[in-house]
Amino acid sequence: MGLARIAIAVLAVVLACGLLVIGGMALWGALTGKDEKKSNAAPSQSGSAAASSTEAKPSASSGQVGNRITVRCLAAQCPVFVSGPANDVQFNGNLRQNETRIFEDTRLTVAVQDAGGVTVTINGHVQPQGRHGEAKTYEAPTGQ
């Protein structure tokens, strides 16, 4: 009887650890946006940047897209945060060198930690680049 209880307790601990690992992997995937890369079907920019670019689609309906922000990393690594309407997070992570992300929605805000390490284009207009190490926020106009 005592051995059966120990076996059940060990099985319960193993199952709990398995659930923790699966939950941790799901959370990591959600936070790093790995699923975003797999679900992109739209073509990206033409030219040499097309091979390394990744397009992020908004979660809202695609009928009312008003702004387009393109963020391209020039440094080895660029921490970027992008939020859309109602402050919903569209991307929060690092871009690799020469990686490009495109975001489309009615209202967008992009925050970068190193403004000298990225180029930001809003609705086709290249934004002024900041200094290296300078944190900067870019906002797409809400009237479009």
Q: Verify that 45 and 27 share a domain, yes or no.
A: no
Asked if the structure places residue 72 within a domain, the reply is: yes
pLDDT-derived band at 60 (thresholds 50, 70, 90) equals very low
State pTM to two decimals.
0.54
For 103-127, what is each residue's pLDDT tens digit?
998 888 999 998 999 999 999 999 9
pLDDT score recorded for residue 37: 44
Q: Are residues 135 and 75 in the same domain?
A: yes
Whether residue 98 contacts residue 70, with contact meaning beta carbons closer than 8 Å, is answered with: no
Residue 25 maps to a domain: yes
pLDDT at 136: 92
- Note whether residue 144 is domain-resident: no
Asked whether residue 19 falls in the same domain as residue 84, the answer is: no
Shared domain check, 27 and 64: no
Residues 99 and 50 in one domain: yes
